[in-house]
Amino acid sequence: MKRLINITITALFLLAVNASNAYAASIGSVRERLANDPGVGSLYTIDDNFSVISVKNSGVEAKDFTVVKEFSSNGRRYQIIRHSEAEPFMYKGSAAPEYSTVQMLPNGEFNLNEEGYGIADLYEHLYAVCRKSNGTASFIIPVKYGQYKRLTQIAAVDAFSYMLSSDNGNGSWFIACDGASRFVAEKNYSFKGLSQTVNIRSNRGFEGVSYIKTGKEVADLVAYQARAISAKDEATVLEETALEAAALGTDFVKVHNGVRYTAAFKNAENGCGSVEIKKTVSTENMATAKLYDYEVCLDKASKVGEKEITPDAARNMYANALIEPVK
């Protein structure tokens, strides 16, 4: 009798556990729950552990996920979220075809405006094709290092963040897939207000693209850009610039160690010439400039004056771009 009671209790416990598991499975994944949430306008898969959702005014309860970044694009409020575990691939509110029917886009130029695609839609379409073929997706975007920009391979979540943030801007980037469906997509540079286009090439990867990878290569580049020129070396650069301008008898621009030197040849009297050199240093948020006056007689350049000046208002089109990795 006691043995029968123990067997009965064990059976009831197993039934309860199975029922609990069945209920948990019926709830579905976090992405499925978000797709059915009325506060979510659209949902995109970035990779297994990151998603992005457009949030309506009612908001979304941050349950079973962590919001790592919020921003606005095209009048919509977006949240990039991190999942504690890998989530099934799915999307909601995208112009891309359903996952079961999605196919590779044809070779050539793809006009997002004509096709009714946004950057996120294109990302989802290409990522879905790559995922269906068990391929590996890679991403390259321009990243600013000090005063320079270099194409850099970065993580999917950082690439998606950059792409979505520059949806209506002039950003350029690459997506490549290495697998059964091998392809590369290159976003063309475009001025604001004009159509955005992407070049699609099958059976291609990042061949021919000059870029750097994360890690030591990036650290070396950052250290190189951060190095400071000594006062002695700068004096040599200024003197050489003045001599070159006087010898040529014209104006010219040269860049040394990321600093721009604009030389203006003024006049030549009694075998000596006058050269004005403007030194401009640009940082992420501002630019500084200094004016130097040199007198050049034969092969000798002598500094006769210097002063701080206000730099030109015109800035390089890339000057204010900065990629902030998603933590």
The domain ranges of the chain are 94-227, 229-309
What are the Cα distances from residue 51, in Å, to 34, 65, 122, 300, 322? 10, 10, 15, 64, 22
Q: What is the pLDDT of residues 20-34, one digit of tens each?
A: 332 233 347 899 999
Q: Are 136 and 185 in contact (CB under 8 A)?
A: no
Taking the whole predicted model, whether its pTM rises above 0.85 is answered as no
pLDDT tens by residue, 37-66: 888 989 999 999 999 998 886 667 777 889
pLDDT tens by residue, 177-200: 998 889 999 998 766 666 789 999
Please tell me what DSSP assigns to residue 110.
E
Across the chain, what does the average pLDDT equal? 78
pLDDT the model gives residue 193: 61
pLDDT at 86: 92
Residue 131 CA from chain centroid, whole number: 22
Q: Which parts of the chain sit beneath pLDDT 50? A: 1-27, 313-327
What is the per-residue pLDDT for 124?
94
Q: Which DSSP string corresponds to 154-208?
A: E-HHHHHHHHHHTTTTT---EEEEESSS-EEEEEPP--TTSPPEEEEEET--STT
Measured CA to CA, the distance from residue 88 to residue 42 in angstroms comes to: 16
